[in-house]
A and B are shown apart, each in its own frame.
Chain A
Amino acid sequence: MVTVQRSEDAAPRRIGEPGQPGALSLRGVSKLYGDVVAVRDVDLEVRPGEFVTLLGPSGSGKTTTLRIIAGFIRPDAGTVVLDGQDLTKVPPHRRGIGMVFQNYALFPHMTVAGNIAFPLEMRRVPKAQRARLVEDALRLVRLEGFGDRYPRQLSGGQQQRVALARALVFHPSVLLMDEPLGALDKKLREALQLEVMRVAHQLGLTVIYVTHDQEEALVMSDRIAVYSHGRIAQIGTGEELYERPASLFVADFIGESNIFRGILRPSAGVVETAVGPLRAAAEAWAREGLREGGAGAVVVRPERMWMRAPDAEPRPSDAAALRGRIREVIYLGSTRKYVVELAPEITAVVRTQGPRLADAPTGPEVLVGWDLADGVLVPDTGEETAAEEAEEAAAPVPR
């Protein structure tokens, strides 16, 4: 996970200040295409200046939600409200919301300056003032002097900045971004992530950002809404989603997880699984949907797992101590990943801070486990995990 120093920003960030525009709320928004549910009953409250990411596999409804906010798709039910005004029936050109498209959607027959001036022209801003605003916008995205070029003469990253400048030049309070960095390579993507955040924070913009890249979501967002099958599966800060996933889907989608499925026994404080009873802390049981005898799972992040010699003494904080055999060691630079077979077809992944040789396990036989505080309990409603859903989505999905 990456954390970003936000204190370097020149101006302090403004979120939800009195009088700040850009409060967006979606209430009960649904959209069906024939029998196919694109979005079902989505509720979303976004504070002014907040950066919210819609994250999910392709076809999960995140782009549909964004297009409903933009006004390109009219929802079958629900409302979109911006700063107290119901936008549901307002056409896109009167919403005053900026949008950046996946493939930039720059007008190929206009120069960079022409593209950026377009929203000003539509708002009948006088010509002299237009030129100045275009200059300001180009400076904001650090593309001074590029005004006379045509989009095809620019690199992908530069085109993306022009698209950003064009979406911001008319000072919208809300900016929508639809996988804007998907087509760029990793280095450039990371640079532009910071750039987008800098601009958004500087202008106090509310940003709704769509991506399927969980790392991008964690880097950029104040809050993340995880989508699954047209619904928001969970919404919260990156930390909340990572540390306390509400469902198997979210646990699997955000980061890597060891998932032990079984039968819940709250009375005994354990989950009965194929690898034996696993203990869970008292706090972990305080969550909806965890019934006695119900299906559930213990979720443990690989870096929270420990690995000991097979004859090590048990400790009272152990949630489990499972005997296993190391099948694979994957060297990842700063960390090392061990794939440990606990039973036929059941493996656990343990990630350790690249141990010095002295700490490395000496034989293939090990004990793996985790502390009580590190196991998260989730109900198992029989839904697919993200990996299973991704496999299903690999079949062609209409855009």
Chain B
Amino acid sequence: MSQVARQGRRAGSIRSPLDAWALLAMPGFLFLVVFFLVPLVRMGLRSLTDPSPANYRIFLESPIYLRVLWTTIRTSLIVTVVCLLIGYPYAYVMHHAGPKTRAALTVLVLVPFWSSLLVRTYAWTVLLQDSGVINSVLRDLGLIDEPLQLMRNTLGVTIGMSHILLPFMVLPIWATMRRIDPDLVPAAESLGAPPRAAFRKVFLPLSLPGVFAGCLLVFVLALGFYITPALLGSPQNAMFSELIVNMVSERLRFGVGSALAMTLLAVTLVLLAIGSRFVRLGDALGGMESR
């Protein structure tokens, strides 16, 4: 029987890698080429030719562009840290919970995936604005006299973005935790490690690949955010994508807009390249697959 199986496998491996299965990938491939790769190349060309590469000098002309780039990176870092601080304990509880609790926690973390980003962001404004739900309740309770500044600042942007990006932190971490041999922590305890030491010495180090993957995903996605910072932030903490929109749709300077977009892409790729030294990108994406 194994003889047959082995022959079958050998016959399979002789087949050319470009077999009928490759055809199945063609629609997706063509879609990406036509609607993503071609526009991207044209945008790159436009940034150099509309009217000239001098488009990129905009960074020298006004300090605001570099400042916004820095704000964008800083905001993304803050959101990443907040997601990690919330997401790791969340994934840990999910990992150790019974089947019912785990199902409930999974649904809760996935709700952001299933509802419109725009709707959720508006919902946050209802909660956070000066006359919003939170401030009204606090005032009615007599805890505050003046409304707290909960949005139109970094705090509001961080709250909104963290809420949306949390699943991208929780799911890779949880996937990594699930791959840890469940006997390892008991083994550490039987060898004399108190529960906290068993976590610190064994469980935590083995869950780090998921942490790196989650951080990278959240950070890279955060760099390109537009709607949430536009609604919950203020001009003082505008994100880079807001500058691009402004340049294209209000000032109609498509060449400069292209240059800004290419710059953001380049920065993202550089940060990804640095990040990929610590985490295999396949892990970040592969970690998303669920049971």
Contact A72 B186 (CB under 8 A): yes
User: What residue of chain B has the Cβ atom nearest to residue A70's Cβ?
Assistant: B190
| Cα A366 to Cα B180 with chains together (Å) | 60
B127-165 toward A: CB 8 Å interface, digit per residue (1/0)? 000000000000000000000000000000000000000
The docked-state distance in angstroms from the alpha carbon of A98 to that of B187 is 9
The verdict on B251 contacting chain A, using a C-beta distance below 8 Å, is no
B183 at the A/B interface (Cβ < 8 Å)? yes
A103 to B201, CA, bound (A): 20
Q: Interface-forming stretch among B8-16, B87-95, B166-174, B191-199?
A: B191-199
Kindly identify which residue among A103, A109, A118, A122 contacts B183, using a CB–CB cutoff of 8 Å.
A103
Q: Do B205 and A105 have beta carbons less than 8 Å apart? A: no
Mark out the residues of chain A between 85 and 123 whose CB falls within 8 Å of any chain B CB in the assembled complex.
Answer: 91-99, 101-103, 105, 107-109, 118-119, 122-123
Partner of B205, one of A71, A98, A109, A170: A109
B61 within 8 A of A: no
Chain A residues within 8 Å of B202, by CB: 107
Most buried by B among A71, A93, A102, A119: A93
Let me know if B181 is at the binding interface, CB within 8 A: yes
A93 adjacent to B192 (CB under 8 Å): yes
Q: In chain A, what residue has the closest Cβ to B186?
A: A72
- Which residues of chain A are near B198, meaning CB under 8 Å? 93
B186 touches A118 (CB 8 A): no
Identify the 5 closest CB pairs spanning chains A and B, nearest first. Answer: A122-B192, A105-B187, A119-B191, A105-B183, A99-B190
Within 8 A of A (CB), among B224-253: none
Q: B283 at interface (Cβ–Cβ under 8 A)?
A: no
Judge if B45 is at the interface, Cβ distance under 8 Å. Answer: no
Chain A min CB distance to B29 (Å): 36
Q: How far is the CA of A192 from the CA of B164 in the complex (A)?
A: 54
A-chain residues with CB within 8 Å of residue B50 when the two chains form the complex: none
In contact, A167 and B191 (Cβ under 8 angstroms): yes
Q: Counting CB contacts under 8 A, is A166 at the interface? A: yes
Write out the residue numbers on chain A whose beta carbons fall within 8 Å of the beta carbon of B66. Answer: none
Interface size on B, residues (CB 8 A): 19
| B residues apposed to A, CB below 8 Å | 181, 183-184, 186-195, 197-198, 201-202, 205-206
The distance in angstroms between the C-alpha atoms of A97 and B187, with both chains bound, is 11
A186 to B58, CA, bound (A): 74
**In the complex, what residues of B have CB within 8 A of residue A176's CB?**
190
CB of A118 within 8 A of CB of B190, answer: no
Q: How far is the CB of B61 from chain A (nearest CB, A)?
A: 51
Contact of A107 among B184, B186, B189, B194 (CB under 8 A): B184
The residue that A93 contacts in the complex, of B181, B184, B190, with Cβ under 8 A, is B190
Do the beta carbons of B206 and A109 come within 8 Å of each other?
A: yes
Task: List residues of chain A with CB under 8 Å of any chain B CB.
Answer: 70-72, 91-99, 101-103, 105, 107-109, 118-119, 122-123, 166-167, 170, 176
| A118–B202 CA distance with the chains assembled, in angstroms | 10
Which of chain B's residues have a CB closer than 8 A to the CB of A95? 190
30 CB < 8 A contacts A-B: A70-B190, A71-B189, A71-B190, A91-B189, A91-B195, A92-B186, A92-B190, A93-B189, A93-B190, A94-B192, A95-B190, A96-B192, A98-B190, A98-B191, A99-B187, A101-B183, A101-B186, A102-B183, A103-B181, A103-B183, A105-B181, A105-B187, A107-B184, A108-B206, A109-B205, A118-B188, A119-B192, A123-B192, A166-B191, A176-B190
Closest to B191 in A: A119
Question: Which of B187, B193, B206 touches A101 (beta carbons < 8 Å)?
Answer: B187
- Report how far A105 CA is from B192 CA in the complex, Å: 15
Residue of A nearest to B193 (CB): A122
From B181, which residue of chain A is reached at the shortest CB distance? A105
For the complex, what is the distance from the CA of A268 to the CA of B28, rounded to whole Å? 86
Cβ–Cβ < 8 Å partners of A105 in chain B? 181, 183-184, 186-187
In the assembly, what is the distance between CA of A31 and CA of B201, in Å? 31
Nearest-Cβ distance from residue A159 to partner chain B, whole angstroms: 12
B residues less than 8 Å from A97 (CB atoms): 190
| Complex-state Cα separation, A289 to B202, whole angstroms | 53
The 8 Å CB contact of A70, one of B186, B195, B197, B201, is: B186
A231 to B181, CA, bound (A): 29
Contacts of B181 in A (CB 8 A): 103, 105
Query: CB-nearest residue of chain B relative to A92?
Result: B189
Besides the known contacts A72-B189, A170-B192, 19 further A-B residue pairs in the complex with CB atoms under 8 A apart:
A70-B190, A71-B189, A72-B186, A91-B189, A91-B195, A92-B186, A92-B189, A93-B192, A101-B187, A103-B183, A105-B181, A105-B186, A107-B184, A107-B187, A107-B188, A118-B191, A119-B192, A122-B197, A166-B191
B residues near A93, Cβ cutoff 8 Å: 189-195, 198
Most chain A Cβ neighbours within 10 Å, of B188, B192, B193: B192
CB contacts (< 8 Å) of A91 on chain B: these are 189, 194-195
Q: Which residues of A contact B206 (CB under 8 A)?
A: 108-109
Complex Cα distance, B149 from A55, in Å, reads: 68
A4 to chain B, nearest CB (A): 28
What's the nearest-Cβ distance from chain A to residue B206, in Å? 6
Nearest CB on B from A233, distance (A) = 28
Cα separation A48 to B186 with both chains bound (whole Å): 25
Report chain A residues within 8 Å CB of B192.
Answer: 93-94, 96, 119, 122-123, 170
Q: With the chains together, A107 CA to B181 CA distance in Å?
A: 9
Cα A99 to Cα B184 with chains together (Å): 12
Report Cα–Cα, A105/B193, bound state, in Å: 14
Cα distance, A93 to B194, chains bound together (Å): 6
CA distance A115 to B139 in the complex (A): 58
What's the Cα separation between A92 and B194 when bound, in Å? 8
List the B side residues contacting A107 at CB < 8 Å.
Answer: 184, 187-188, 202
**Least Cβ distance of A367 to chain B in Å?**
42
Instruction: Determine how close the nearest CB of chain B comes to the CB of A302; give it in whole angstroms.
Output: 31
Neighbouring A residues of B201 by C-beta, 8 Å: 118
Scoring B183, B194, B195, B206 by chain A CB atoms within 10 A of each residue's CB, the highest score goes to B183
